[in-house]
Amino acid sequence: MRNLPFDTVLIANRGEIAVRIIKTLRELELRSAVVYHDLDAGAPAVSMADMAIPIIGRMPVAAHLDTAQIIAAAREASAGAIHPGYGFLSENADFARAVVESGFAFVGPTPEIIHLMGDKIQARNFVQRNGFPVVPSAIEEDDPASFIQRARSIEGPLLVKASAGGGGKGMRIVRDLDTLEDAIAQARSEAQRYFGDGRLYIERYIEKPRHIEVQLLGDCFGNVVHLFERECSVQRRFQKVIEEAPASTLSPGLRERICETAVSIARAANYRNAGTVEFIVHGGEFYFLEMNTRLQVEHPVTEMITGIDIVAEQLYVAGGYELRFSQPDIVSTGHSIEARVYAEAPERGFAPTTGKVLVLDYPSGPGLRIDSGISQGQQITTAFDSLLAKVIVHSSTRNEAALTAQRAMQELVLLGCETNASFLACVLADEQFLRGQVHTGYLDENPQLTACDSASDLSTFLAAAALLTRPVRDSADAVPELHASLGGWRNA
Amino acid sequence: MNHVFELEGVDYQLWLSRWQQGYRLHFGDEVLASLDLSHQGDGCGLLTVAGASEPVRFAVDGDTIHLHIRGRTRVLRYRDPLSAHALVKKDAGLLVARAPMPGVVVQTSVSAGDQISAGTALMVIESMKLESVIRSPQDGVVDRIHFNEGESFEHGAVLVTITEEGH
Amino acid sequence: MQRLASLIDVNSREFRLNELHNRRLAAELKERQRAVRLERPERDRERLRRQNKLFVRDRVEALLDPETPFLELSTLAANAAYDGEVPSAAQVVGIGIVAGREVIVHADDSSVKGGAWYPLSVKKIVRSLDIAIENRLPVVHLCDCGGGFLPLQAEFFADRHHAGRIFRNQSILSKMGVPQVALVVGQCIAGGAYVPALSEYNVIVQGSGAIFLGGPSVVQVATGQHVSVDELGGADMQTSVSGTADHLADSEMHAIAIARDIVARFKHPEKASIDRVAPEPPAYDASELYGIIPRDPRVHFDMREILARLVDGSRFHEYQPRYGRSLVCGFARLHGYQIGVLANNGVLFDDSALKGAHFIQLCDMNRTPLLFLQNITGFMVGREYERRGITKNGAKLLMAVSGAAVPKFTVICNHSHGAGTFAMAGRAFDPRFLFTWPQAQISAMGADQATRVLTDVKAKQLAVDDRPLSAQDYEATRQSILEEYRKRSSAYYATSEIWDDGILDPVDTRTALAIAVSASLNAPIETPHYGIFRM
């Protein structure tokens, strides 16, 4: 183990990713500190961290977006570094700069790179300039007056996106150009609220593409390696649901070209720390989508196939170390699948669900990893993201991994707040998924998956519910024995 | 009069009766016997149907029963016959705007006492990462706003109460 | 207890012919019951729908606990009256389970004549409340009554057991602490208005329910006042202004849910404790009864063959098997309850009467309910028997039957004539329940004998008037008298007049009796004491 220039790391995040980071900090014998909003007081990250510092905000999300409070918390914790996790301030260049200027190490790339890549338009232009493929688009700030005009001239359905965005926030598909202006207004409002930046751009919406992304690691010495690709095509509402590595149906040649392209982009940007280049792949073509300058939600699948702890590498890079391996050292073994457990009701249009976690029991076994951010007794609200936990499996083949993941989804017991676990189990057992024939529109085209097991075992569930309901049992017990034994007898 | 359980918006009528040492479930034309559920603590139980037993995980929260059986989680609600058969009564002259789904109040556009007309935006809520506008169902005066900006609410919660003009 | 060994040959021609006959009778009974329960003119059904009311049978089913038995009583009441136009006397009455409690259900059937009370409707309601009083059974009334049927008021209004008795019985029940719940699911007019008012609890349905002593038309005639149904006695007024009704329900189903909730809070009865063990089905199949009951009522059959298909394990501990053999007495179990059985195996002689009286006292002393199985043409007559004191000994049996404090149950299996009807716990002797089999005949004298007597009387009268009957006319007169006599001594006539609590398909007897025995135990059993036995 190498010595790092800091002994305490403040995690400016919550939920499963905070827990995930704490685990690596423990491995590296570093102290962990975490900021939390009152709503998360009972969350596992808060109890697991060596220190937990409350932050406040008019809206819970706002607390986590408050740079000043977080830096104050880092000082209070005597932290030497701040890990932003994903979401919140992880891709905010101003935050990264404030962190660095306040004397802390920022576990992520430089503010300049975040700025470059965090602004989708700049990133796109940068990539295009360096000769890599991008999707036809209209960028608002090129000339705001003609923005809508230019958008209308792009052929095909359109996708409105926030320049500063990610994670599906502020996105709208427009198939009917009459609704374009409404979509722009809604997207701008969301973008303004989530990212504090209402700028938009519009690109051609490519139907049925695959979403392929490449995990990268770079250091301050100009080394950049890729940790192979991930496929994240199983999505709903631009939200990834099931991710896997490696991508199931990429030809070796295309796979290599994509990974090489990602590394080249990162090199051109003088990238350091962990990052991900996302592509959309259609047929044999691929286009640059965006670069995420942070740890991804789905990073565990890469960790499973490469055996590399990406968070540990982030910390070493942030601590000034050179990467411990070069490209040929990185080997992919087997197949990994991650399924995201959300607090949502797939059968009701994926509406968010809330409730108190009354029973929580995760499956365990070989090749199974659970990244969970919740614990029994915790209240699930809509104040934050609805991601509750990630179930990650690693097997020698894709089919085995899918089967293991499906079983894990069935064994996972989370009562008190409805989740998408049964839906995930259905998807993992779906023929089309098992054949690898997925694209980003796959879930939308297969709405039956949200109700694939709605009728089965109904009477067994009703029986258990009846036996657990006091008035139902009482009315059975109240009937005299003789009459119960005679049943619904009627004379003649 | 049968018992009613609601599952995913559908009502199911059933009856439980005693049968030998345990119980019998009558559900449509289906009869399950002999039934029993033994509690093993910590939300674990053993459900026995016709001599075959299987583990059940459960949590009972008021009239809501959360169940995990055979790898599937379902939430059933016991519909108390008194409330199930009562019609929803509307208090005369008082209207409410309810939450179409759980979420958080982003912004409130009106204040108590404001004159409003049908369609007036009352508040902006955020749910499922999307903003939606809660509009007044009819003309009237804002009586009360039940949630502050930043507060979260459940599905069906009353967000704004409106009185009819001159009421 | 020893198992009865049946001597019946189920493969015999006799058995098959009897079976054919009795199955036909059972099918006829089922069909007649089905018709009175469900067959209504479409316009009456349509009217109910228009009034947003449920059909009475659906109300009763919704009220009862699912998967529990309902013993309907006097289904065929009024079948031979009012040209058959008032099925079930426009009332549904039975013993059922509501929220786990044994209750009497009494429901007006407004699909028949708007729920008007006919004389036999009143008789049926009074009987249902008598049952409630005798057995201390709570009552649930489903009220939907347009008042009494005025043209026949002389037959149901003023007498001791006429309409007033309904309200008197309700009051007595209340005094005894036996609760009643009334659901006002239609209009309760005139006397009908007192049914909810005299019930401890009541529920009224918004819209269709109303209670008033005089309807709008009566009010207008009496006072000149114009008033609407709602103003006069609507659900809103009766629950919020007058306090005549307790609960306001949004719908009939809501009212039923409220009523079930009320009944669920009734005290669990402390039932009379009698000897009971785990039940056991009879060793012989009940359906064999069809082959045993002779198709010709005049043919004798052994009541033990009936018992073998009625009691637990077909086991019977016979009392004095060698004495007074025309009356079979002994102990058996019915669904585990110990019962004492008195069953006719021929006419009553003085020894059988003495044996019966003695056995009744035995059962009374050890708290064993009594089951009387009637197939009795009467007491033996003749000089020899009078000298032995047949009348005096028969009186002992009547004294014992009347005095026994344990619940009594009577099934008229075949003949029921003369003083035998009384001595075997006939209707006048207040058995808790009395049921009839389809072929039973109930009359003061057997049809053949009575017809001969009546025809002879008629012939003598005519002879006095100097108009002697020819042999041919004599036969024609005899036939017409016989026909009328048979009709009025049939089970269907008896049940029409509510001399019984209903006709049973013989195979249902065991279950019906078990429900009846269980119901009877809601009332405490008094200590035995008797009048003077003439020795």
CATH at C106:
3.90.226.10
The pLDDT tens digits of the residues spanning A439-455 come to 999 999 999 998 876 67
Percentage of chain B beyond pLDDT 90 is 41
CB contact under 8 A, B154 and A354: yes
CB contacts of A339 in chain B (<8 Å) are none
A259 or A173, which is more confident: A259
Sheet holding A158-162, edge to edge: A137-139, A200-204, A158-162, A172-174
Q: Which of B158, B101, B61 is nearest to A353 (CA)?
A: B101
| Res A136: pLDDT | 86
Whether A197 and A231 share a structural domain: no
Give how far C68 is from chain B: nearest CA, Å: 9
For A382, which of B47, B80, B102 is closest by C-beta distance?
A: B102
Mean pLDDT of A352-361: 93
- Rounded to the nearest integer, the mean pLDDT of chain C is 95
Whether C398 and C524 share a structural domain: yes
- Name the strand (E) or helix (H) holding C95: strand C91-98
Where residue A143 sits, what CATH number does that domain have?
3.30.1490.20
CB contacts of A456 in chain B (<8 Å) are 72
What is the tally of structural domains in chain C?
A: 3
Q: Is the pLDDT of residue C375 over 60?
A: yes
For C258, which of B82, B84, B89 is closest by C-beta distance?
A: B82
In CATH terms, B3-84 corresponds, of 3.30.700.30, 3.40.1170.20, 3.30.450.20, 3.40.50.11540, to 3.30.700.30
Q: What is the domain extent for residue A387?
A: 210-451
| Res B149: pLDDT | 86
The pLDDT tens digits of the residues spanning C59-70 come to 999 999 999 999
Mean pLDDT of C325-337: 97
The residue length of chain C stands at 535
CA distances from C153 to A194, C148, C149 (A): 83, 7, 6
Residue A129 touches chain C, beta carbons under 8 Å: no
Domain boundary among C264, C290, C314: C264
Give the start-to-end residue ranges of the domains of chain B: 3-84, 94-163
Most confident among A373-387, C94-108, C237-251 (mean pLDDT): C94-108
Q: A258 lies in a domain? A: yes
What residue spans of chain B are helical by DSSP H? 81-85
CA distances from C152 to C109, C117, C118, C497 (A): 18, 10, 7, 16
Q: Name the packing angle between helices C350-365 and C390-403 (round to 10°).
A: 20
Does ipTM come in above 0.90?
Answer: yes
Please state whether beta strands B64-69 and B72-79 pair in parallel, antiparallel, or not at all (unpaired).
antiparallel
Give yes or no for a contact between A200 and A161, defined as CB atoms under 8 angstroms apart: yes
Whether C138 and C67 share a structural domain: yes
Q: Which tokens in the block code for residue C39?
A: 């067959």
Give yes or no for a contact between C474 and C468, defined as CB atoms under 8 angstroms apart: no
Domain boundary among A107, A128, A144: A107
For C257, which of B17, B24, B85 is closest by C-beta distance?
A: B85
For A490, which of C29, C70, C518 is closest by C-beta distance?
A: C70
Q: Is the dihedral of CA A120, A121, A127, A133 positive or negative?
A: positive
| Res C19: pLDDT | 97
What is the tally of structural domains in chain A?
A: 3
Q: What is the domain extent for residue C389?
A: 11-40+272-444+489-535
Whether C63 and C105 share a structural domain: yes
Give how far C57 is from chain B: nearest CA, Å: 13
| Res C99: pLDDT | 97
Residue C115 binned pLDDT confidence (cut-offs 50, 70, 90): confident
Q: Which of B55, B3, B54, B69 is nearest to A415 (CA)?
A: B69
CB contact under 8 A, A422 and B73: yes
Residue B167 binned pLDDT confidence (cut-offs 50, 70, 90): very low
CB contact under 8 A, C264 and A478: yes
Residue of B2, B15, B19, B85 for testing the chain C interface, max C β-carbons within 10 Å: B85
Whether A224 and A314 share a structural domain: yes
The pLDDT tens digits of the residues spanning C187-211 come to 999 889 999 999 999 999 999 999 9
Mean pLDDT of A129-141: 89
Percentage of chain C beyond pLDDT 70 is 100
| Res A351: pLDDT | 87
Please state whether beta strands A31-36 and A51-54 pair in parallel, antiparallel, or not at all (unpaired).
parallel
Q: Is the pLDDT of residue A208 over 90?
A: no
SS3 state at A408: helix
CB contacts of C62 in chain B (<8 Å) are 1
Q: Which tokens in the block code for residue A141?
A: 């700030």
Q: A474 lies in a domain? A: no
CB contact under 8 A, B1 and C251: no
CA distances from A203 to A209, A436, C439 (A): 14, 27, 91
Amino acid at C476: A
Q: How far apart are CA B47 and CA B54, in angstroms?
A: 5
Contacts of C49 (CB under 8 A, 6+ apart): none
Please state whether beta strands C441-443 and C433-436 pair in parallel, antiparallel, or not at all (unpaired).
unpaired
CB contact under 8 A, A479 and C100: yes
Q: C224 lies in a domain? A: yes
SS3 state at B61: strand
CB contacts of C68 in chain B (<8 Å) are 17
Whether C259 and C331 share a structural domain: no
Mean pLDDT of C146-165: 94
Q: How far apart are CA A251 and CA A442, in angstroms?
A: 21
Q: Is the pLDDT of residue B94 over 70?
A: no
Residue A292 binned pLDDT confidence (cut-offs 50, 70, 90): very high
CB contact under 8 A, B85 and C260: no
CB contacts of C257 in chain B (<8 Å) are 1, 81-82, 84-85
Where residue A423 sits, what CATH number does that domain have?
3.30.470.20
Whether A173 and A218 share a structural domain: no
Q: How far apart are CA B84 and CA B78, in angstroms?
A: 10
Give yes or no for a contact between C324 and C354, defined as CB atoms under 8 angstroms apart: yes
Q: A23 lies in a domain? A: yes
Give how far A417 is from chain B: nearest CA, Å: 9
CB neighbourhood size of A443 (10 A) = 25
- Please spell the DSSP secondary structure of C147-193, one letter per residue: -B-GGGGGGTSSSTTSTHHHHHHHHHHHHHT--EEEEEEEEEEGGGG
Residue A185 touches chain B, beta carbons under 8 Å: no
CA distances from A29 to A2, A8, A24, A285, A399 (A): 11, 9, 8, 45, 37
Q: How far apart are CA A398 and CA A392, in angstroms?
A: 13
| Res C470: pLDDT | 85
Residue A481 touches chain C, beta carbons under 8 Å: no
Give how far B80 is from chain C: nearest CA, Å: 9
CB contact under 8 A, C505 and A492: yes
Q: Is the pLDDT of residue B20 over 50?
A: yes
Chains that touch B (3 or more CB pairs under 8 A): A, C
Query: Any bridge partners for residue A213, and if so which?
Result: A230, A278
Q: What is the fold, at CATH topology level, of the domain defined by B94-163?
A: OB fold (Dihydrolipoamide Acetyltransferase, E2P) (2.40.50)
C364 or A171, which is more confident: C364
Residue A414 binned pLDDT confidence (cut-offs 50, 70, 90): very high
Residue of C37, C67, C265, C520 for testing the chain A interface, max A β-carbons within 10 Å: C67
Where residue A16 sits, what CATH number does that domain have?
3.40.50.20
Give how far A347 is from chain B: nearest CA, Å: 8
Q: Is the pLDDT of residue C166 over 90?
A: yes
Residue A479 touches chain C, beta carbons under 8 Å: yes
Chains that touch C (3 or more CB pairs under 8 A): A, B
Whether A294 is a known active-site residue: answer: yes
Q: C4 lies in a domain? A: no
Residues 355-394 of A with CB under 8 A from B: 355-356, 358-359, 361, 381-383
Whether A429 and A413 share a structural domain: yes
Strands (E) in A65-190, as ranges, are 81-83, 105-106, 137-139, 158-162, 172-174
Give yes or no for a contact between C507 and A491, defined as CB atoms under 8 angstroms apart: no
B93 or A328, which is more confident: A328
Whether A234 and A331 share a structural domain: yes
CB contact under 8 A, B73 and A419: yes
- Name the strand (E) or helix (H) holding A414: strand A413-415
Residues 127-166 of B with CB under 8 A from A: 127-131, 149-150, 152, 154-155
Q: How far apart are CA C471 and CA C337, in angstroms?
A: 57
Q: Half-sphere exposure of C180 toward its Cβ, with a 13 Å CA cutoff?
A: 31
CB contact under 8 A, C63 and B1: yes
Query: Any bridge partners for residue A12, and if so which?
Result: none
CB contact under 8 A, C69 and A484: no
The pLDDT tens digits of the residues spanning C390-438 come to 999 999 999 999 999 999 999 999 999 999 999 999 999 999 999 999 9
User: Rounded to a whole number, what is the distance in angstroms from the first to the last CA of chain B?
Assistant: 41
Q: Using CB atoms within 10 A of its CB, is residue A333 exposed (0-12), middle (13-18) or buried (19+)?
A: exposed
Longest dimension (CA), chain B: 67
| Res C453: pLDDT | 87
Find how far residue A150's CA is from the centre of its chain. Answer: 32
Q: How many CB pairs under 8 A join B and C?
A: 40
Whether A395 and A251 share a structural domain: yes
Q: How far apart are CA B39 and CA B45, in angstroms?
A: 4
Q: Which of C129, C286, C114 is nearest to C194 (CA)?
A: C129
Q: Is the pLDDT of residue C276 over 60?
A: yes
Whether C308 and C335 share a structural domain: yes
Residue A167 binned pLDDT confidence (cut-offs 50, 70, 90): low
What residue spans of A299-351 are helical by DSSP H? 299-306, 310-318
Q: Is the pLDDT of residue B128 over 80?
A: no
Whether A193 and A315 share a structural domain: no
CB contact under 8 A, B58 and A464: yes
Q: Is the pLDDT of residue B88 over 60?
A: no
Q: How far apart are CA A295 and CA A312, in angstroms?
A: 11
Structure letter (DSSP) for residue C265: T
Catalytic residue among A14, A230, A294, A340: A294
Give how far C29 is from chain A: nearest CA, Å: 8
Q: How far apart are CA A104 and CA C346, in angstroms?
A: 112
